[in-house]
Amino acid sequence: MKTPAQLCAMAPVIPVIIVNEVAQAAPLARALVAGGLPVLEVTLRTPVALEAIAEMRAACPEAVVGAGTLRNAADVKACMDAGCAFGVSPGAPAALMDAVAEAGMPFLPGCATATEAMALADRGFEVVKFFPAGAAGGPNLLKSLASPLPDVKFCPTGGVSLENAPDYLKLPNVCVVGGSWVIPNDALANGDWDRIEQLARAAITALRPLQKV
């Protein structure tokens, strides 16, 4: 398995995906990977999420498929059983972090404050999710944390767009962003895979030069 730092270096954007129908999974993964975004986060927000992850892995072996919105030890076990390459959480309760450590799962735990980031760094996490990025202070907050916490790297997610992603990626402590803008709801619902591939390519073109690897 790749480490979180290695995963974050693969592309400047990790698509945050909500799959409502299993049939969407394979063509969506192919479109995103073809557009240059191989690391995919499928959130556990729908009943078909784990099945969709399996479909993506089978249909697109070059994709690195993980799960988002993990909240407890049961989620960790289910995701490990499903072959997820990594996990992501909106927060970092102690029981969840203990389960992640026991499973040996590559993980991006969520934080929104300096105290939370420091606690996660003490647990050995070098890369953490900053969520909800926009509501929690955006680039200005992360810029303020760069000097006192130089060893912590962030993946801001929540309110990130193609327009404001450069404001995050230009910061020394941001290694990647997470976003759903490359998968518009109408494109997903209509199966407009060409549009999704084009949005992925546009993200790579605009943001790859800003990414620090």
Catalytic residue positions? 41, 129
For every residue of 196-207, DSSP letters joined together read HHHHHHHHHHHH
Query: What are the contacts of 113-119 at 24+ separation with CB within 8 A?
Result: 114/145, 114/148, 114/149, 116/91, 116/92, 117/145, 117/149, 117/152, 117/154, 118/149, 118/152, 119/92
| Lookup: tokens for 29 | 């993964």
Please name the residues in contact with 19: beta carbons below 8 A apart, sequence gap of 6 or more: 25, 28, 42, 46, 48, 49, 52
| Lookup: tokens for 38 | 């191989």
